[in-house]
Amino acid sequence: MKKKLAIISSYGELCGNATYAYVLEQEFLKYYDVEVISLNVKLLQSENKSEKNLADRHILDIENKIKDYDFVNIQFEVGLFGLNKRTVLRRFSKLIKGSKAVIVTMHRLDMRRDFFTIKTLKEIRTMSFFSLLKQYRNERYYALLYEKVVRIIKKASKSKNASILVHTKREKYNISAILKFDKVYDHPITFLTQDQRKLFSKDAKSIFRGKYKIEDNEVVVGIFGFISSYKSHHTAISALKYLPNNYKLMIFGSQHPHSITQGIDIEPYTKSLLDLIDDVTYELSERVIFVGSLDDQNFIADLHGVDFTILPYEETNQSGSGIAALTLESKTKAIFSNNLAFLELQRYAKKSFKTADIGNSKEMADAIQNYNFDEYSQNLDTYLSTYNIESNIELHREIFEKRHSC
Protein backbone atom coordinates (compact mmCIF):
# COMPACT_ATOMS: atom_id res chain seq x y z
CA MET A 1 0.00 0.00 0.00
CA LYS A 2 1.38 3.40 -1.02
CA LYS A 3 2.07 6.02 1.61
CA LYS A 4 0.11 9.26 1.46
CA LEU A 5 1.55 12.65 0.55
CA ALA A 6 -0.18 16.03 0.78
CA ILE A 7 1.20 19.02 -1.16
CA ILE A 8 -0.04 22.36 0.16
CA SER A 9 0.13 25.21 -2.32
CA SER A 10 -1.81 27.85 -4.24
CA TYR A 11 -3.07 25.09 -6.53
CA GLY A 12 -5.50 26.27 -9.18
CA GLU A 13 -4.17 29.83 -9.03
CA LEU A 14 -2.53 31.53 -12.02
CA CYS A 15 1.01 31.54 -10.63
CA GLY A 16 4.32 29.69 -10.70
CA ASN A 17 3.75 28.15 -7.26
CA ALA A 18 0.63 26.37 -8.53
CA THR A 19 2.31 25.17 -11.73
CA TYR A 20 5.25 23.78 -9.78
CA ALA A 21 2.90 21.97 -7.39
CA TYR A 22 1.12 20.36 -10.33
CA VAL A 23 4.41 19.08 -11.76
CA LEU A 24 5.45 17.65 -8.38
CA GLU A 25 2.06 15.98 -8.01
CA GLN A 26 2.38 14.17 -11.36
CA GLU A 27 5.84 12.82 -10.52
CA PHE A 28 5.09 11.93 -6.89
CA LEU A 29 2.14 9.82 -8.07
CA LYS A 30 4.68 7.22 -9.20
CA TYR A 31 5.55 6.59 -5.55
CA TYR A 32 2.79 7.88 -3.26
CA ASP A 33 -0.92 8.49 -3.08
CA VAL A 34 -0.88 12.25 -3.62
CA GLU A 35 -3.36 15.03 -2.94
CA VAL A 36 -2.72 18.68 -3.60
CA ILE A 37 -4.49 20.74 -0.96
CA SER A 38 -5.21 24.17 -2.35
CA LEU A 39 -4.87 27.27 -0.21
CA ASN A 40 -7.73 29.74 -0.68
CA VAL A 41 -5.39 32.66 -1.25
CA LYS A 42 -8.09 35.30 -1.74
CA LEU A 43 -9.69 34.33 1.58
CA LEU A 44 -6.36 34.09 3.42
CA GLN A 45 -5.35 37.56 2.25
CA SER A 46 -8.61 39.21 3.31
CA GLU A 47 -8.54 41.74 6.15
CA ASN A 48 -12.32 41.59 6.62
CA LYS A 49 -13.02 40.33 10.15
CA SER A 50 -15.62 37.71 9.20
CA GLU A 51 -13.49 36.47 6.30
CA LYS A 52 -10.41 36.29 8.54
CA ASN A 53 -12.36 33.94 10.80
CA LEU A 54 -13.29 31.82 7.79
CA ALA A 55 -9.64 31.84 6.72
CA ASP A 56 -8.55 30.57 10.14
CA ARG A 57 -11.17 27.83 9.86
CA HIS A 58 -9.81 26.99 6.40
CA ILE A 59 -6.32 26.50 7.89
CA LEU A 60 -7.72 24.47 10.79
CA ASP A 61 -9.51 22.18 8.33
CA ILE A 62 -6.23 21.62 6.47
CA GLU A 63 -4.39 21.00 9.75
CA ASN A 64 -6.89 18.29 10.70
CA LYS A 65 -6.84 16.77 7.23
CA ILE A 66 -3.08 16.39 6.94
CA LYS A 67 -2.87 14.46 10.21
CA ASP A 68 -3.85 11.41 8.17
CA TYR A 69 -0.95 11.81 5.71
CA ASP A 70 2.47 10.23 6.06
CA PHE A 71 4.24 13.17 4.39
CA VAL A 72 3.46 16.84 3.79
CA ASN A 73 5.15 19.28 1.41
CA ILE A 74 4.35 22.96 1.98
CA GLN A 75 5.11 25.23 -0.98
CA PHE A 76 5.80 28.29 1.16
CA GLU A 77 5.45 31.90 0.11
CA VAL A 78 4.62 34.53 2.71
CA GLY A 79 1.72 36.11 0.82
CA LEU A 80 -0.15 32.80 0.55
CA PHE A 81 -0.91 32.78 4.28
CA GLY A 82 -1.95 36.35 5.01
CA LEU A 83 -0.97 40.00 4.94
CA ASN A 84 0.65 40.47 8.35
CA LYS A 85 3.45 38.69 10.16
CA ARG A 86 1.50 37.48 13.17
CA THR A 87 -1.25 35.94 11.02
CA VAL A 88 1.21 34.25 8.64
CA LEU A 89 3.19 32.69 11.50
CA ARG A 90 0.09 31.53 13.38
CA ARG A 91 -1.40 29.83 10.33
CA PHE A 92 1.90 28.35 9.21
CA SER A 93 2.49 26.93 12.70
CA LYS A 94 -0.80 25.05 12.55
CA LEU A 95 0.19 23.29 9.33
CA ILE A 96 3.55 22.30 10.80
CA LYS A 97 1.78 21.03 13.90
CA GLY A 98 -0.59 18.89 11.82
CA SER A 99 2.21 17.25 9.79
CA LYS A 100 3.86 13.96 10.74
CA ALA A 101 6.79 14.53 8.39
CA VAL A 102 7.13 17.79 6.47
CA ILE A 103 9.36 19.44 3.88
CA VAL A 104 8.87 23.19 3.61
CA THR A 105 9.90 24.39 0.16
CA MET A 106 10.95 28.01 0.60
CA HIS A 107 10.88 29.93 -2.67
CA ARG A 108 12.44 32.99 -1.08
CA LEU A 109 14.47 33.86 2.01
CA ASP A 110 15.03 37.46 3.09
CA MET A 111 17.97 38.01 5.41
CA ARG A 112 18.71 40.94 7.70
CA ARG A 113 21.09 43.52 6.24
CA ASP A 114 22.94 46.47 7.65
CA PHE A 115 21.18 49.80 7.16
CA PHE A 116 23.89 51.17 4.86
CA THR A 117 24.12 48.10 2.63
CA ILE A 118 20.61 48.59 1.25
CA LYS A 119 21.62 51.39 -1.10
CA THR A 120 24.86 52.70 -2.51
CA LEU A 121 26.10 56.05 -1.23
CA LYS A 122 25.11 57.64 -4.53
CA GLU A 123 21.56 56.33 -4.18
CA ILE A 124 21.37 57.41 -0.55
CA ARG A 125 22.11 61.01 -1.55
CA THR A 126 19.07 61.01 -3.86
CA MET A 127 16.65 59.60 -1.27
CA SER A 128 15.09 61.27 1.73
CA PHE A 129 16.02 59.84 5.10
CA PHE A 130 12.42 58.79 5.70
CA SER A 131 12.23 56.94 2.35
CA LEU A 132 15.43 55.10 3.15
CA LEU A 133 14.21 54.29 6.66
CA LYS A 134 10.89 53.00 5.31
CA GLN A 135 12.68 50.69 2.89
CA TYR A 136 15.00 49.44 5.62
CA ARG A 137 12.10 48.73 7.99
CA ASN A 138 10.21 46.91 5.25
CA GLU A 139 13.18 44.67 4.45
CA ARG A 140 13.82 44.02 8.14
CA TYR A 141 10.14 43.14 8.64
CA TYR A 142 10.31 40.30 6.11
CA ALA A 143 13.75 39.16 7.24
CA LEU A 144 12.46 38.75 10.80
CA LEU A 145 9.39 36.92 9.49
CA TYR A 146 11.53 34.39 7.62
CA GLU A 147 13.74 33.93 10.67
CA LYS A 148 10.67 33.01 12.69
CA VAL A 149 9.46 30.63 9.97
CA VAL A 150 12.80 28.80 10.16
CA ARG A 151 12.58 28.84 13.97
CA ILE A 152 9.15 27.17 13.86
CA ILE A 153 10.48 24.41 11.60
CA LYS A 154 13.61 24.01 13.74
CA LYS A 155 11.52 23.60 16.89
CA ALA A 156 9.26 21.05 15.17
CA SER A 157 12.28 19.05 13.94
CA LYS A 158 13.08 18.04 17.53
CA SER A 159 9.98 15.83 17.67
CA LYS A 160 9.28 15.02 14.00
CA ASN A 161 10.87 14.82 10.57
CA ALA A 162 10.80 18.52 9.58
CA SER A 163 13.12 19.92 6.92
CA ILE A 164 13.56 22.83 4.52
CA LEU A 165 14.22 22.68 0.78
CA VAL A 166 15.59 25.74 -1.03
CA HIS A 167 16.62 26.47 -4.62
CA THR A 168 20.06 28.02 -4.08
CA LYS A 169 23.29 27.16 -2.32
CA ARG A 170 23.29 30.70 -0.90
CA GLU A 171 20.04 30.10 0.95
CA LYS A 172 21.15 26.70 2.17
CA TYR A 173 24.20 28.41 3.66
CA ASN A 174 22.14 31.21 5.19
CA ILE A 175 19.77 28.76 6.88
CA SER A 176 22.45 26.33 8.08
CA ALA A 177 25.27 28.71 9.03
CA ILE A 178 23.47 31.91 10.00
CA LEU A 179 20.06 30.71 11.17
CA LYS A 180 21.62 27.54 12.66
CA PHE A 181 19.29 24.91 11.20
CA ASP A 182 21.07 21.99 9.57
CA LYS A 183 18.13 20.04 8.10
CA VAL A 184 18.16 22.11 4.93
CA TYR A 185 18.65 20.82 1.38
CA ASP A 186 19.05 22.48 -1.99
CA HIS A 187 17.90 21.66 -5.50
CA PRO A 188 17.19 24.03 -8.42
CA ILE A 189 13.63 24.33 -9.73
CA THR A 190 12.81 21.65 -12.31
CA PHE A 191 9.71 20.85 -14.37
CA LEU A 192 10.11 18.48 -17.30
CA THR A 193 10.91 14.78 -17.42
CA GLN A 194 13.41 13.49 -19.96
CA ASP A 195 10.54 12.13 -22.09
CA GLN A 196 8.72 15.48 -21.95
CA ARG A 197 11.86 17.33 -23.03
CA LYS A 198 12.16 15.04 -26.05
CA LEU A 199 8.46 15.37 -26.88
CA PHE A 200 8.45 19.17 -26.75
CA SER A 201 11.70 19.39 -28.71
CA LYS A 202 10.43 17.29 -31.61
CA ASP A 203 9.70 19.56 -34.59
CA ALA A 204 9.34 22.47 -32.15
CA LYS A 205 10.97 25.08 -34.38
CA SER A 206 9.02 24.28 -37.53
CA ILE A 207 5.69 24.02 -35.69
CA PHE A 208 6.35 27.33 -33.94
CA ARG A 209 7.29 29.18 -37.14
CA GLY A 210 4.22 27.88 -38.94
CA LYS A 211 1.97 28.75 -36.02
CA TYR A 212 3.10 32.38 -35.93
CA LYS A 213 3.88 32.75 -39.67
CA ILE A 214 7.56 33.50 -39.07
CA GLU A 215 9.53 34.12 -42.29
CA ASP A 216 12.60 31.98 -43.03
CA ASN A 217 15.01 34.88 -42.55
CA GLU A 218 13.46 36.11 -39.29
CA VAL A 219 15.07 35.51 -35.91
CA VAL A 220 12.74 35.34 -32.92
CA VAL A 221 13.75 36.52 -29.47
CA GLY A 222 11.27 35.57 -26.76
CA ILE A 223 10.59 36.95 -23.30
CA PHE A 224 8.17 34.93 -21.19
CA GLY A 225 5.92 35.39 -18.17
CA PHE A 226 3.64 38.01 -16.64
CA ILE A 227 4.29 41.56 -17.82
CA SER A 228 5.78 43.08 -14.67
CA SER A 229 8.31 45.88 -14.34
CA TYR A 230 11.00 43.80 -12.62
CA LYS A 231 11.24 41.66 -15.76
CA SER A 232 12.62 44.69 -17.61
CA HIS A 233 10.88 44.33 -20.95
CA HIS A 234 12.35 47.78 -21.62
CA THR A 235 15.78 46.21 -21.91
CA ALA A 236 14.49 43.58 -24.33
CA ILE A 237 12.73 46.15 -26.53
CA SER A 238 15.70 48.51 -26.50
CA ALA A 239 18.01 45.66 -27.53
CA LEU A 240 16.18 45.55 -30.87
CA LYS A 241 17.64 48.96 -31.69
CA TYR A 242 21.06 47.32 -31.95
CA LEU A 243 19.92 44.25 -33.88
CA PRO A 244 19.26 43.86 -37.64
CA ASN A 245 15.68 44.41 -38.80
CA ASN A 246 15.03 40.68 -39.26
CA TYR A 247 15.15 40.18 -35.46
CA LYS A 248 11.74 40.19 -33.77
CA LEU A 249 10.79 40.27 -30.10
CA MET A 250 7.79 38.18 -29.05
CA ILE A 251 6.36 38.86 -25.59
CA PHE A 252 4.63 35.76 -24.22
CA GLY A 253 2.45 36.59 -21.23
CA SER A 254 -0.06 39.14 -20.06
CA GLN A 255 -0.73 41.65 -17.33
CA HIS A 256 -0.48 40.15 -13.84
CA PRO A 257 -3.95 39.70 -12.26
CA HIS A 258 -2.82 41.66 -9.17
CA SER A 259 -2.21 44.73 -11.37
CA ILE A 260 -5.80 44.86 -12.62
CA THR A 261 -7.39 47.96 -11.09
CA GLN A 262 -10.84 49.42 -11.56
CA GLY A 263 -10.82 52.76 -13.39
CA ILE A 264 -7.35 52.32 -14.92
CA ASP A 265 -7.65 52.27 -18.72
CA ILE A 266 -4.15 50.81 -19.20
CA GLU A 267 -1.62 49.49 -16.72
CA PRO A 268 1.19 52.11 -16.43
CA TYR A 269 4.07 49.71 -17.05
CA THR A 270 2.41 48.33 -20.19
CA LYS A 271 1.84 51.90 -21.40
CA SER A 272 5.53 52.69 -20.93
CA LEU A 273 6.39 49.71 -23.14
CA LEU A 274 4.02 50.89 -25.84
CA ASP A 275 5.52 54.39 -25.67
CA LEU A 276 8.97 52.90 -26.17
CA ILE A 277 7.80 50.78 -29.11
CA ASP A 278 6.05 53.75 -30.73
CA ASP A 279 9.24 55.86 -30.69
CA VAL A 280 9.39 56.74 -34.40
CA THR A 281 13.17 56.97 -34.33
CA TYR A 282 13.59 53.21 -34.36
CA GLU A 283 10.36 51.94 -36.01
CA LEU A 284 9.90 48.97 -33.67
CA SER A 285 6.14 48.56 -33.97
CA GLU A 286 6.43 45.81 -36.60
CA ARG A 287 9.17 44.02 -34.69
CA VAL A 288 7.52 43.64 -31.28
CA ILE A 289 4.64 41.18 -30.95
CA PHE A 290 2.48 40.75 -27.85
CA VAL A 291 1.36 37.13 -27.93
CA GLY A 292 -0.71 37.28 -24.76
CA SER A 293 -1.41 34.62 -22.14
CA LEU A 294 -0.91 30.93 -22.93
CA ASP A 295 -1.81 27.70 -21.18
CA ASP A 296 1.07 25.63 -19.79
CA GLN A 297 1.34 23.32 -22.82
CA ASN A 298 1.55 26.11 -25.39
CA PHE A 299 3.79 28.18 -23.13
CA ILE A 300 6.34 25.37 -22.92
CA ALA A 301 5.99 24.53 -26.61
CA ASP A 302 6.71 28.15 -27.56
CA LEU A 303 9.74 28.19 -25.25
CA HIS A 304 11.10 25.37 -27.39
CA GLY A 305 10.20 27.20 -30.60
CA VAL A 306 11.90 30.58 -30.27
CA ASP A 307 15.49 31.13 -31.38
CA PHE A 308 16.48 32.91 -28.14
CA THR A 309 14.94 33.30 -24.71
CA ILE A 310 16.09 36.35 -22.77
CA LEU A 311 15.36 37.14 -19.13
CA PRO A 312 16.71 40.65 -18.48
CA TYR A 313 15.29 40.76 -14.94
CA GLU A 314 16.16 43.36 -12.35
CA GLU A 315 17.25 42.21 -8.88
CA THR A 316 14.24 40.97 -6.90
CA ASN A 317 15.80 38.94 -4.06
CA GLN A 318 13.96 35.89 -5.37
CA SER A 319 15.55 32.46 -5.03
CA GLY A 320 14.87 31.24 -8.50
CA SER A 321 12.80 31.50 -11.63
CA GLY A 322 10.49 28.87 -13.02
CA ILE A 323 10.84 30.39 -16.48
CA ALA A 324 14.63 30.20 -16.26
CA ALA A 325 14.33 26.53 -15.30
CA LEU A 326 12.03 25.80 -18.25
CA THR A 327 14.31 27.75 -20.58
CA LEU A 328 17.26 25.53 -19.70
CA GLU A 329 15.10 22.42 -20.01
CA SER A 330 14.01 23.56 -23.48
CA LYS A 331 17.70 23.91 -24.51
CA THR A 332 16.89 27.21 -26.22
CA LYS A 333 19.71 29.72 -26.58
CA ALA A 334 19.41 31.52 -23.25
CA ILE A 335 20.62 34.91 -22.07
CA PHE A 336 19.83 36.00 -18.52
CA SER A 337 20.68 39.16 -16.63
CA ASN A 338 23.32 39.21 -13.94
CA ASN A 339 20.86 39.27 -11.08
CA LEU A 340 21.58 37.26 -7.94
CA ALA A 341 19.08 34.47 -8.65
CA PHE A 342 20.64 33.75 -12.04
CA LEU A 343 24.16 33.96 -10.60
CA GLU A 344 23.05 31.34 -8.08
CA LEU A 345 21.58 29.21 -10.89
CA GLN A 346 25.00 29.24 -12.55
CA ARG A 347 26.39 27.37 -9.54
CA TYR A 348 24.33 24.38 -10.71
CA ALA A 349 24.14 25.08 -14.46
CA LYS A 350 27.78 26.06 -14.93
CA LYS A 351 28.49 27.75 -18.26
CA SER A 352 25.08 26.66 -19.55
CA PHE A 353 23.73 30.09 -20.51
CA LYS A 354 25.00 33.53 -21.39
CA THR A 355 24.55 36.64 -19.27
CA ALA A 356 24.35 40.43 -19.63
CA ASP A 357 24.32 43.15 -17.01
CA ILE A 358 20.97 44.34 -15.71
CA GLY A 359 19.56 47.07 -17.93
CA ASN A 360 22.37 46.93 -20.49
CA SER A 361 20.39 46.56 -23.74
CA LYS A 362 23.50 46.95 -25.90
CA GLU A 363 25.23 44.09 -24.12
CA MET A 364 22.06 42.01 -24.46
CA ALA A 365 21.99 42.65 -28.22
CA ASP A 366 25.69 41.80 -28.53
CA ALA A 367 25.14 38.59 -26.57
CA ILE A 368 22.36 37.58 -28.97
CA GLN A 369 24.42 38.25 -32.10
CA ASN A 370 27.56 36.58 -30.77
CA TYR A 371 25.89 33.52 -29.24
CA ASN A 372 27.77 30.28 -29.87
CA PHE A 373 25.54 27.46 -28.66
CA ASP A 374 28.36 24.90 -28.89
CA GLU A 375 30.04 26.68 -25.97
CA TYR A 376 27.08 25.90 -23.72
CA SER A 377 25.49 22.73 -25.13
CA GLN A 378 27.71 20.13 -23.44
CA ASN A 379 27.55 21.92 -20.09
CA LEU A 380 23.77 22.18 -20.43
CA ASP A 381 23.54 18.43 -21.03
CA THR A 382 25.59 17.83 -17.88
CA TYR A 383 23.31 20.10 -15.86
CA LEU A 384 20.12 18.46 -17.14
CA SER A 385 21.43 14.97 -16.45
CA THR A 386 22.32 15.98 -12.88
CA TYR A 387 19.41 18.25 -11.94
CA ASN A 388 16.01 17.26 -13.27
CA ILE A 389 12.51 16.51 -12.03
CA GLU A 390 13.53 12.90 -11.33
CA SER A 391 16.47 13.92 -9.11
CA ASN A 392 14.24 16.53 -7.47
CA ILE A 393 11.61 13.93 -6.54
CA GLU A 394 14.27 11.46 -5.38
CA LEU A 395 15.72 14.07 -3.02
CA HIS A 396 12.25 14.64 -1.52
CA ARG A 397 11.82 10.90 -1.05
CA GLU A 398 15.20 10.55 0.62
CA ILE A 399 14.34 13.34 3.05
CA PHE A 400 10.85 12.01 3.80
CA GLU A 401 12.14 8.49 4.30
CA LYS A 402 15.29 9.65 6.12
CA ARG A 403 17.68 8.24 3.56
CA HIS A 404 19.58 11.49 3.01
CA SER A 405 22.16 13.17 5.22
CA CYS A 406 22.75 16.94 5.15
| pLDDT for the residue 130 | 62
| Mode of pairing for the β-strands spanning 247-252 and 219-224 | parallel
Integer Cα distance of 81 and 45 in angstroms: 7
SS (H, E, C) 140-206: HHHHHHHHHHHHHHHHHCCCCEEEEEECCHHHHHHHHHHCCCCCEEECCCCCCCHHHHHHHHCCHHH
Burial class of residue 302 in the structure, from the number of CB atoms within 10 Å of its CB (0-12 exposed, 13-18 middle, 19+ buried): buried
Helix, strand, or coil here: 305?
Answer: helix
What order do you get walking across the sheet with 247-252 strand by strand?
288-292, 247-252, 219-224, 308-311, 333-337, 354-356
Q: Which of 350, 371, 354 is nearest to 312 (CA)?
A: 354
Integer Cα distance of 382 and 75 in angstroms: 28
| pLDDT for the residue 395 | 97
Phi, psi (deg, nearest 5) at residue 5: -125, 130
Contact between 403 and 397 (Cβ < 8 Å)? yes
Q: The whole model's pTM is what?
A: 0.88
Q: Which pLDDT tens digits describe the chain residue by residue (406 residues)?
A: 899 999 999 865 556 677 888 899 999 999 999 999 999 999 999 988 899 999 999 999 999 999 999 999 999 998 899 989 999 999 999 999 999 999 999 999 998 876 555 455 555 556 665 666 666 566 788 899 999 999 999 999 999 999 999 999 999 999 999 999 999 999 999 999 888 998 888 899 999 999 999 999 999 999 999 999 999 999 999 999 999 999 999 999 988 767 777 778 888 999 999 999 998 677 899 999 999 999 889 999 999 999 999 999 999 888 889 999 999 999 999 999 999 999 999 999 999 999 999 999 999 999 999 999 998 999 999 999 999 999 999 999 999 998 776 5
Integer Cα distance of 367 and 309 in angstroms: 12
| pLDDT for the residue 390 | 96
Burial class of residue 368 in the structure, from the number of CB atoms within 10 Å of its CB (0-12 exposed, 13-18 middle, 19+ buried): buried
Integer Cα distance of 37 and 74 in angstroms: 10
Contact between 278 and 320 (Cβ < 8 Å)? no
| pLDDT for the residue 158 | 95
Instruction: Please name the helix (run of DSSP H) or strand (run of DSSP E) that holds residue 333, with its range, or none.
Output: strand 333-337
Burial class of residue 312 in the structure, from the number of CB atoms within 10 Å of its CB (0-12 exposed, 13-18 middle, 19+ buried): buried
Map out the domains of the chain with their CATH numbers.
4-187+388-400 (3.40.50.11930), 194-386 (3.40.50.2000)
Tell me which DSSP letter residue 47 carries.
-
Contact between 75 and 17 (Cβ < 8 Å)? yes
